[in-house]
């Protein structure tokens, strides 16, 4: 069965300060964000009714907007409260929560300093981002044809809608070629991240992950680094070149939607879904639910 379209569901969406019926949460076709990508968004998960790292996400949303030159007319704590209200209205305990802020319709053309800034928040049920099978077997990643742009060519620290254009292109191409997702290199040719998640590698019990200097320093990435360090696992953040991929034994992705998902292969290079990856998958699953990690 095909899931119902995202604009045709029951429920409510928080929009500019009030909860509106889901099907009425629409914008006009002449909206600056749609033409010029002046939109920033977040994605966070609720576990057992609590939104994990909520304030960090709200802070990043506000900062993402600032990087695009607009300011959201709601404070971080207002946004936190609005996310909680949206979740409560949904009646869901485990859900994905999607806030988005954008420039409205008051002005068209590249410049739109007087366009009104809108904020909406929706939430819905979203199981394993890559499906359950990937958690056991590991993902098959293609190599993306697109590279993460240099920080002097785009506001790469912003979770800006416009930066996802190359992600969608890369992910569609990967799917057409029979892969689950794609590894993106950066403008220098260094390993960067997947199309919607950060990447880690394991070599001889040590974690290696690229320095996030032209892509998001994911909240999940930071959480997993802290969890690994608590276990006494060394974490090395450094430039990683594709030539090194064959020397890694394990690989996994991290993201609020993706959580910790193992990678089985990238192009011709294979990885095992090993004990360290499984440990961090468990640690993360417990941590987001407020449970202490098992020893």
Q: Is 221 a residue that touches ligand PMP (CB under 6 A)?
A: yes
Choice between 104 and 215, CB closer to ligand PMP = 215
Q: Is 218 a residue that touches ligand PMP (CB under 6 A)?
A: yes
Contacts of 88 (CB under 8 A, 6+ apart): none
Choice between 19 and 184, CB closer to ligand PMP = 184
Which listed residue (138, 196, 210, 264) binds ligand PMP by CB under 6 A? 196
Q: What is the DSSP string of the chain?
A: -PPPPTTS-SSEEEETTEEEEGGG----SS-HHHHH--EEE--EEEETTEETTHHHHHHHHHHHHHHTT---SS-HHHHHHHHHHHHHHHT-SSEEEEEEEEE-SS--SS--TTSPEEEEEEEE----TT-HHHHHH-EEEEEEEEEEPPTTTS-TTS-BGGGGHHHHHHHHHHHHTT-SEEEEEETTS-EEEESSSEEEEEETTEEEE---SSS---HHHHHHHHHHHHTT--EEE----GGGGGG-SEEEEEETTTEEEEEEEETTEE----HHHHHHHHHHHHHHTTPPPP-
Q: Is 219 a residue that touches ligand PMP (CB under 6 A)?
A: yes
Choice between 118 and 221, CB closer to ligand PMP = 221
Choice between 70 and 129, CB closer to ligand PMP = 129
> CA 166 → CA 119, 171, 186, distances in Å?
24, 8, 12
Which listed residue (13, 100, 139, 216) binds ligand PMP by CB under 6 A? 216
Residues 140-169 vs ligand PMP: string with x where CB under 6 A? ---------------------------x--
- Sole window of 172-180, 212-220, 269-277, 284-292 interacting with ligand PMP (rule: CB under 6 A): 212-220
Q: Is 287 a residue that touches ligand PMP (CB under 6 A)?
A: no
- Sole window of 81-89, 97-105, 129-137, 192-200 interacting with ligand PMP (rule: CB under 6 A): 192-200
Q: Is 255 a residue that touches ligand PMP (CB under 6 A)?
A: yes
Residue 137 is a catalytic residue? no
How far apart are CB 286 and ligand PMP at their closest, in Å?
17
How far apart are CB 134 and ligand PMP at their closest, in Å?
16
Choice between 72 and 216, CB closer to ligand PMP = 216
- Sole window of 93-101, 138-146, 168-176, 193-201 interacting with ligand PMP (rule: CB under 6 A): 193-201
**Whether 167 contacts 195, CB under 8 Å:** yes
Task: Note the residues at the interface with ligand PMP (CB under 6 A).
Answer: 43, 167, 193, 196-198, 215-216, 218-221, 254-256
Active site residues: 159
């Amino acid at each position: 069965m095909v899931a119902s379209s995202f604009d045709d569901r029951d429920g409510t969406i928080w929009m500019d300060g009030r909860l509106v019926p889901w099907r009425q949460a629409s914008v006009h076709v002449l909206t600056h964000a749609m033409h010029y990508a002046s939109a920033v968004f977040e994605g966070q998960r609720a576990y057992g009714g609590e939104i994990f790292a909520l304030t960090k996400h709200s802070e990043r949303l506000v900062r993402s907007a600032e990087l695009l030159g607009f300011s959201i007319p709601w404070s971080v704590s207002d946004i936190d409260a609005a996310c909680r209200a949206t979740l409560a209205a949904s009646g869901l305990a485990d859900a994905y929560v999607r806030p988005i802020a954008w420039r409205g319709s008051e002005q068209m053309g590249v410049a739109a300093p007087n366009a009104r800034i809108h904020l909406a928040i929706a939430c819905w049920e979203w199981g394993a981002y890559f499906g359950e099978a990937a958690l056991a077997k590991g993902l098959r990643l293609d190599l993306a044809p697109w590279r993460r742009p240099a920080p002097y060519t785009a506001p790469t620290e912003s979770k800006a809608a416009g930066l996802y254009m190359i992600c969608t292109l890369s992910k569609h191409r990967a799917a057409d070629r029979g892969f689950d997702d794609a590894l993106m290199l950066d403008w220098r040719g260094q390993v960067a991240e997947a199309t919607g998640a950060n990447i880690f590698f394991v070599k001889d019990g040590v974690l290696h992950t690229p320095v996030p200097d032209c892509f998001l320093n994911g909240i999940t990435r930071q959480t997993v680094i802290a969890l690994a360090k608590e276990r006494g696992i060394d974490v090395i953040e450094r430039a990683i070149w594709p030539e090194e991929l064959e020397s890694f034994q394990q690989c996994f992705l991290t993201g609020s939607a993706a959580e910790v998902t193992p990678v089985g292969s990238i192009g011709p290079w294979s990885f095992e879904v090993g004990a360290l990856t499984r440990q961090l998958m468990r640690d993360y699953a417990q941590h987001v639910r407020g449970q202490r990690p098992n020893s």
